[in-house]
Structure 1
């Protein structure tokens, strides 16, 4: 407020100097300004000083107006930037929501597939266990051999067996499958006529040869 009052006083003083200068120029007399008597030279100096101050104040005003304009421009640019950021955030939020929805859907499908795979694995394991049990049962079941020769590892698995005559009994042999071909077992099964030894327990290995002169039953034992 004081600055504006000063400006007004300077402007009024300038006009006074102009009128005074005009009067002095016509009469050559001295004038009184701010209670001081001044001739034309002093008045010119005072007038130049006032013009200089007015020019400086105009410059300050122009700079202030430029700052105000720039401030308004910056505020507008800031508002535009905020609006763009809001739009971008809205777009990102939407894309993120859609991405999460897609991920949740795929995760649900994967979990469902995993559950199906677990069920299939459980069923397969059950079938495998059943098949293994059946195989073990089949391997552990008694094996019937008619009279003849049999190769261990081909006709019957290697292992420990109890040989039992299915008829009256006869000779039963087990030959070493090696180059020697020596007899590992040479016995008579059954007890007919009091000459048989009844059942006979033996071990046989892959390559050994079983020879029986009558039907026998081989039961696997541990």
Structure 2
């Protein structure tokens, strides 16, 4: 899997110039709204979530009041950016992928993270996520709740099944188990942080890197799951 190129600030300038030209034409309401959301996502990724909507309007080439005809508050605009950048990139096919026992657990987890990395290794996605955490916006917590429910907990439940351990319905998941799964998730995401936040190189082909991470998780986490379930089980 090749890692997509980062969108550099030069790309944002080019996009802004195109948006400015579009802003001089009368556009249908839905098209204008989408233009604002797409430009806002790029703008906040570059300038941070503290960026001013007045400057955003200048970048797009529309009046400041035009933004608020579509979005009554900056928070409403950020909510649409969240939907555009995060919710719409979630592939519905991922729901249930980890639980598909027609494949080995390693194959399931590996497939998810390879496909997931293709979606999130993106300049806008990563930088808005980081900025939202730093500034206390709820974008990161909302998205992490999705990851917890759709990725972390399913991986833990399937890990237990693979090890012939009691299911979470019998013995609730322990903190050690979930932290082991978060560590795998964080390791994959750190590659994106390194590229789009630190500007530090990462491998061009991430397939083997992710395979190594998943293999290390499965080997290293097994004793953690066994021990923690034993300690949490009723005597």
Task: Please give the TM-score of this superposition, normalised by the length of structure 1.
Answer: 0.18
Q: Which has the higher contact order (CA 8 A, sep 6+)?
A: 2
Structure ranking higher in helix proportion: 2
Structure ranking higher in strand proportion: 1
Higher Cα Rg: structure 1 or 2? Answer: 1
Task: Please give the TM-score of this superposition, normalised by the length of structure 2.
Answer: 0.17
